[in-house]
Amino acid sequence: MQPHQLQYFVAIAETGSFTAGAQRAQVVQSAASTAVKQLERELGCALFTRGRRIALTPEGEALLPRARDVLAALDAARAAVAATRGQVAGTVSLGMMNHLAGFELASLLAAFGRAHPAVVVHARQTATGSRGSLDAVRSGDLDLALVSTAGGTVSGLRLRYLDSEPIRFVCHRTHPLAGRGAVRLAQIADEAFIDSPVGWGNRAVVDGAFAAAGLRRTIQTEATDFELGQALVRERLGVMFVPASAVSPDPQLAALDVEPALTWTVRLAHSASRPLSAAAAALAAELERGGRGDAGPERDGH
């Protein structure tokens, strides 16, 4: 049983796809598939059911947590040796979001790589928004995740404040409210909304605000991309809420303040029960330095 076999097995199990698992492991699909078949021959059982969709067999389910433990132990061993030379080493899995306001993730990761060349960062976006990333951190699939949450506390996790900005209401310039400086939720509750899917942090903030005001609204279209959503607004197919930094400069659109104000916040999440490795702690510190400063108790909620 080789470490790379376990690495590919875990990647495939967590992504639910041989193709996606190979991409995460940064190998061609044939290499990942061959390694898993070799592992299955050594163990004398199938680890996945194969068909239109793959799934773990009972044997695969039993192996998955043990495989994670083995890979974590190997990382810890490498880190211990590196520490004797004054280096930080290891692998960190980081969940990302589609939009990060003024948070310059690419430049931060590049700076971190230069400072810590022995650390490998596996960064990925989830298909289920911040809620999916929070679940992945809770289960151990991710070490750290950049998330947007409606509040500063989440059970089982620690949240560190990184950035925030207002959410604005975007409509077509011919909309009856377009000339106003600001809108209240009661004025727009009957509109047809374009919004992110359930699970996205910005959606949670807006849903919570409408619920707190005792208002209902209709989500006509769901889109994970703010640019696409605003293109639909331009065609008068609905209205939407957009974080300020993602508002399009399109002259066909009007962006209004919301009263009371809605705030979209980026936080860094990690487990409250599992200690961070030296590599993950170093990356967390780098990401915090890239934030906009202290936000009081939100900076270290759990």
pTM of the model: 0.74
Q: How many independent structural domains does the chain possess?
A: 2
Q: β-strand 55-56 against 262-271: which pairing, if any?
A: unpaired
| Residue 301 resides in a domain | no
pLDDT band for position 301 (cuts 50, 70, 90):
very low
Residue 300 clears pLDDT 50, i.e. is over it? no
d(CA 253, CA 245): 15
The end-to-end CA distance of the chain, in Å, is 38
pLDDT cut 70: percent of the chain above it: 95
| Residue 292 resides in a domain | no
Q: In terms of C-beta distances under 8 Å and separation of at least 24 residues, what long-range contacts does 17-25 make, across chains too?
A: 17/54, 18/54, 24/122, 24/124
Structural domain containing residue 8 = 1-67
For residue 182, list its beta bridge partners: 257
Span 86-105, pLDDT tens digits: 778 888 999 998 887 777 88
Lowest mean pLDDT among 83-97, 122-136, 278-292: 83-97
| Residue 153 resides in a domain | no
| Residue 5 resides in a domain | yes
Residue 212 clears pLDDT 80, i.e. is over it? yes
Residue 302 clears pLDDT 70, i.e. is over it? no
| Residue 144 resides in a domain | no
d(CA 161, CA 263): 13
d(CA 139, CA 86): 31
Q: What is the CATH number of the domain that holds 17?
A: 1.10.10.10
Residue 297 clears pLDDT 60, i.e. is over it? no
Span 9-18, pLDDT tens digits: 998 998 888 9
Span 54-83, pLDDT tens digits: 899 999 999 999 998 898 888 778 777 777
Q: What is the CATH number of the domain that holds 201?
A: 3.40.190.10
Mean pLDDT over residues 204-212, rounded?
95
pLDDT cut 90: percent of the chain above it: 60
The pLDDT of residue 294: 46
Mean pLDDT over residues 129-146, rounded?
90
Residue 146 clears pLDDT 60, i.e. is over it? yes
CA 57, distance to chain mean position in Å, is 28
| Residue 85 resides in a domain | no
pLDDT band for position 258 (cuts 50, 70, 90):
very high
How distant, in Å, are the alpha carbons of 125, 144, 267 from that of 292?
Answer: 22, 19, 11
Span 215-233, pLDDT tens digits: 999 999 999 999 999 999 9
| Residue 244 resides in a domain | yes
Mean pLDDT over residues 187-201, rounded?
95
The pLDDT of residue 292: 61
Last residue of a domain, one of 67, 95, 117: 67
| Residue 243 resides in a domain | yes
pLDDT band for position 52 (cuts 50, 70, 90):
confident
The pLDDT of residue 298: 44
pLDDT band for position 295 (cuts 50, 70, 90):
very low
> Strands, E, within the chain: which ranges?
48-49, 55-56, 90-96, 119-125, 144-148, 157-172, 182-184, 192-195, 218-222, 239-243, 253-259, 262-271
Query: What are 292's two structure tokens?
Result: 């906009």
Last residue of a domain, one of 49, 67, 85: 67
